[in-house]
């Protein structure tokens, strides 16, 4: 969701396409649909800068979520680690969360969270499809289409993996 950019020897951050995730979380909190905002401190070994959740916490506070209502997971690298960290944070056998993630990722994320004995209320965002008129240009190969195919293949590999694991 966050891109790290180096400018004049400083790291700066900007949102990518998945910004709907944090905006929806803030909105659900402000509309009293959730009493807590749990953010993932996702950080891959090759990532630079602060974990995503730390940046998102600062962002949520700027938009009116009280700091004491925001909880960060441990540093995690994948959905399975996220689910286990959330379960550990909430420390209860009767855990229920509103799971906000991209629509294409929701089936896999829901399965993984439920495998960690977390009841899930799915809240899908970032729908990739959109209603557009089909034109001649729709049939011309593009880098954007190749990126979409890559995203699809990675998600299918993840679903296969977790279907075998759980």
125 falls within a domain: yes
Nearest to 29 by CA among 66, 82, 76, 80: 66
Neighbours of 50 (CB within 10 A): 17
- The whole-number average pLDDT for the span 41-55 is 85
Identify the CATH number of the domain in which residue 45 sits.
3.40.50.620
Domains: count for the chain: 1
146 falls within a domain: no
- DSSP code, position 21: H
- The whole-number average pLDDT for the span 36-61 is 89
Q: With pLDDT > 70 as the criterion, what percentage of the chain qualifies?
A: 98
Q: CA-CA distances (angstroms) from residue 72 to 45, 56, 119, 144, 145?
A: 18, 10, 19, 33, 34
Q: What is the pTM of this model?
A: 0.80
- DSSP code, position 35: S
113 falls within a domain: yes
138 falls within a domain: no
- The whole-number average pLDDT for the span 45-72 is 92
- The whole-number average pLDDT for the span 66-89 is 94
Contacts of 124 (CB under 8 A, 6+ apart): 101, 102, 103, 106
Domain holding 109, by residue range, is 2-130
Instruction: Return d(Cα 122, Cα 119) in angstroms, integer.
Output: 10
Q: What is the mean pLDDT of the chain?
A: 90
């Amino acid at each position: 969701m966050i891109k790290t950019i180096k400018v004049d020897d400083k790291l700066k951050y900007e949102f990518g396409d998945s910004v709907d995730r944090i905006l929806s979380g803030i909105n659900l909190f402000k509309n009293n649909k959730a009493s807590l905002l749990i953010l993932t401190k996702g950080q891959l070994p090759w990532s630079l800068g602060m974990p995503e959740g730390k940046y998102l916490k600062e962002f949520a506070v700027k938009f009116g979520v009280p700091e004491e209502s925001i909880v960060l997971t441990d540093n995690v690298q994948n959905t399975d680690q996220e689910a286990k960290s959330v379960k550990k944070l909430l420390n209860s056998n009767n855990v229920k969360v509103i799971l906000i993630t991209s629509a294409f990722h929701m089936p896999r994320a829901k399965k993984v969270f439920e495998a960690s004995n977390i009841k899930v209320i799915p809240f899908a965002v970032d729908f990739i499809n959109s209603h557009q008129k089909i034109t001649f240009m729709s049939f011309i190969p593009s880098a954007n289409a190749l990126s979409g195919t890559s995203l699809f293949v990675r998600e299918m590999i993840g679903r296969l993996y977790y279907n075998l694991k759980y």
